[in-house]
Amino acid sequence: MKPPRSRNALSWLAAEPSFARLGEQATRLAALEADVRRALPGLALTVVAFEHKQLVVGASHAAMAAKVRQVEPTLIAALGRKGWAVDKVRFKPLFRAPAVSPAHRDKPPPGAEALAHITDLSQRIDHPGLKEALARLAARHSG
């Protein structure tokens, strides 16, 4: 008896009709997005959907919606030349979660030489507010 042959994930997905349609749709949207980016190279737009001759594009901020409305006729014409039947372009904001900021690390205190310079500067400077701030900084880190 022969052991079963393994198949890669793409061939397995292609054998399933619903997944095959999904793969075709993803390929189609990727091609449409490439044509959108060639038509409007200065705008970072993502193709969200394309159904019933209506193209839905998205970007990370809503201010892009005004720009999309301005260039809609240009985009429709450019996509028409590429064979895409688009009658309307809609915008959808794609808000992404902000990146996690790195953990806060305490900074090491200034060295003795730096503290000496800060103290010296605080005694020589004429501006009262800056003089007081430098004196507080030196006092906080010395001792």
Predicted pLDDT at 89: 94
Predicted pLDDT at 105: 78
Residue tagged 């393994």 (tokens):
6
Predicted pLDDT at 81: 95
Average pLDDT over residues 84-106: 81
Average pLDDT over residues 19-47: 89
What is 72-136 written as a DSSP string?
HHHHHHHHHHTT----EEEEEE---PPPPPPPP-PPPPPPHHHHHHHHHHHHH---HHHHHHHHH
* pLDDT winner (highest mean) among 20-29, 79-88, 106-115, 130-139: 79-88
Bridge partners of 46, per DSSP, are 58
Report percent pLDDT > 70 for the chain: 87
Report percent pLDDT > 90 for the chain: 37
DSSP label at 41?
A: T
Instruction: Round to whole Å and give the CA distance between 56 and 71.
Output: 14
